[in-house]
Amino acid sequence: MIRRLLLVLAVMLVLVPLASAAQPQFSMAEIESQLMCPTCQSRLDLSHSPAADRIRAFVEKKRLEGWTEQQVKDALVADFGPSVLAAPPASGIGLVAWVAPIALVGGGLVVAVAIVFAWRRRRHAGRAQTPADIALEARVDAALRSFDDVL
């Protein structure tokens, strides 16, 4: 009995990985939105050109064979180059596409803050106190002092 159970277990250990290897690892909708049609420069899921149809057929075939998303992408990059990926790789020249927007937004913030500071400093420096300002300041000080006395 134990020997039979061990045999079943051994068979399961061999068959389970084989079965899962052939399972699709990703959905077509998922990967199509991450790929570009090389001849029409639009996303694969939005394209129905002959080249896009061939790529779609290739992806579906490999998906059903159990390839991972990365394996499919690597195979397509080998034939079409990195431009087949909708999002550029975060390395080499592709890194520019990721870093440039962040640098631009960051740079824009630095510039905006600097402009606000410069504007405020100019406003303070350029504005001389008038006798009315001095009188108002004295009245406010006196009011605050009397308020302190009451407390």
Partner 1 sequence: MKRAVVVVVAVLLLGLGIVLARAVMQTSGARAFPAEVASGAKPPAPDFALPLLTGDGEVTLASLRGQVVVVNFWASWCDPCKDEAPILQDLWLTEAQPQGVAFVGIDTQDLSDDARAFAVTYGLTYPLVHDVGGAVGRDWGVGAFPETFIIDPQGRAVAWFPGEVTADGLRDAVAKARASS
Measure the CA–CA gap between 60 and 46, rounded to whole angstroms.
16
CB of 87 to partner 1, least distance (A): 16
87 binds partner 1 (CB under 8 A): no
Distance separating the N- and C-terminal Cα atoms of the chain? 94
Vertex 137: Cα angle to 132 and 143 (nearest 5): 125
CB of 91 to partner 1, least distance (A): 16
Instruction: Choose between 9 and 90: whose C-beta lies nearer to partner 1.
Output: 90
Instruction: Choose between 100 and 135: whose C-beta lies nearer to partner 1.
Output: 100
110 binds partner 1 (CB under 8 A): yes
Measure the CA–CA gap between 64 and 21, rounded to whole angstroms.
10
51 binds partner 1 (CB under 8 A): yes
7 binds partner 1 (CB under 8 A): no
109 binds partner 1 (CB under 8 A): no
Give 86: exposed, middle or buried? Use CB within 10 Å, 0-12, 13-18, 19+.
Answer: middle
Instruction: Choose between 45 and 84: whose C-beta lies nearer to partner 1.
Output: 84
CA trace torsion 36, 37, 40, 41 (10° rounding): 10
Options 4-12, 53-61, 129-137, 139-147: segment touching partner 1 (CB under 8 A): 53-61
